[in-house]
């Protein structure tokens, strides 16, 4: 039987679900421990397979939705890991979330991950670089979320008649070209001319999405956090 608990997390991702999965949002963050240190990653999910959270499932008491760096209490029922997404927790849809504060940008450098899902650089899509992992490898990965510091550039272009915002950076001596699903940056750059735009040093949350029909799991930039 599921036991209700509350996870206090710092919101480090509030992104749209990729187009190949049903609509909705993916919200995730790291648990805030009693001593103020970062704990494990937590990704609240519903019981629908591969479905993003609806507004009613991820809304505060006042009707607003979580924003990056919010400190929030999220009622959950139990851990619900699936494949490489071991941070998943099944949320309680009958209780609203509560915002209890905001995290400081000055504290975030201490939250940067040492190990991340970028370590498996097995495959690239036609327009990406080191942006996907075959499901046969993804299942052995222990984490599907990470926060890293990068020097970021954003590229805007059309791909199969769809406007695409892609983040490019170098991390650990390897180049990455990953789709951006942070809605703030998508909206900001979707309407700009094709080309490259320099963002500079920032923190990004990388999420390894669920399996696509082509047999791969794609790495996405779920959040861009910049002063």
pLDDT for 2 beyond 60: no
Q: How far apart are the first and last CA of the chain?
A: 43
pLDDT at residue 51, rounded to an integer = 62
For residue 161, pLDDT beyond 90: no
pLDDT of residue 109: 85
Q: Is 22 a residue whose pLDDT tops 70? A: no
Q: What is the pLDDT of residue 94?
A: 84
C-alpha span between 177 and 200 (Å, rounded): 15
- Do residues 46 and 25 make contact, with C-beta atoms less than 8 angstroms apart? no
**What's the rounded mean pLDDT across residues 100-112?**
90
Please classify residue 15 by burial: count the beta carbons closer than 10 Å to its beta carbon, then call 0-12 exposed, 13-18 middle and 19+ buried. buried
pLDDT of residue 204: 96
- pLDDT(50) > 70: no
How far apart (Å, rounded) are the C-alpha atoms in residues 217 and 87? Answer: 16
For the chain, the residue count is: 227
Q: How many CA atoms lie within 13 A of 48 on its CB side?
A: 11
pTM equals 0.92
Is residue 137 within 8 A of residue 102, CB to CB? The reply is no
Please state, rounded to an integer, the average pLDDT across all residues of the chain: 89
């Amino acid at each position: 039987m599921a036991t209700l608990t509350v996870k206090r997390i710092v919101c480090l991702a509030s992104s749209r679900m990729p187009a190949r999965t049903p609509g909705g949002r993916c919200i995730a963050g790291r648990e805030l421990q009693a001593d103020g240190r970062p704990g494990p990653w937590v990704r609240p999910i519903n019981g629908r397979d591969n479905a993003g959270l609806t507004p009613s499932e991820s809304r505060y008491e006042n009707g607003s939705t979580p924003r990056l760096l919010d400190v929030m209490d999220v009622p959950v029922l139990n851990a619900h890991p699936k494949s490489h997404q071991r941070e998943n927790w099944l949320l309680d849809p009958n209780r609203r979330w509560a915002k209890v504060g905001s995290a400081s940008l000055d504290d975030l450098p201490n939250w940067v991950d040492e190990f991340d899902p970028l370590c498996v650089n097995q495959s690239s899509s036609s327009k990406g670089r080191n942006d996907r992992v075959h499901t046969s490898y993804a299942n052995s990965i222990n984490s599907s979320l990470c926060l890293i510091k990068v020097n970021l550039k954003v590229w805007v272009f059309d791909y199969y008649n769809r406007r695409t915002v892609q983040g490019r950076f170098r991390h650990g001596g390897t180049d990455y070209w990953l789709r951006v699903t942070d809605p703030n940056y998508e909206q900001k750059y979707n309407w700009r001319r094709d080309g490259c735009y320099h963002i500079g040093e920032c923190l990004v949350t990388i999420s390894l999405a669920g399996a696509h029909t082509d047999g791969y799991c794609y790495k996405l930039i779920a959040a861009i956090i910049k002063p």
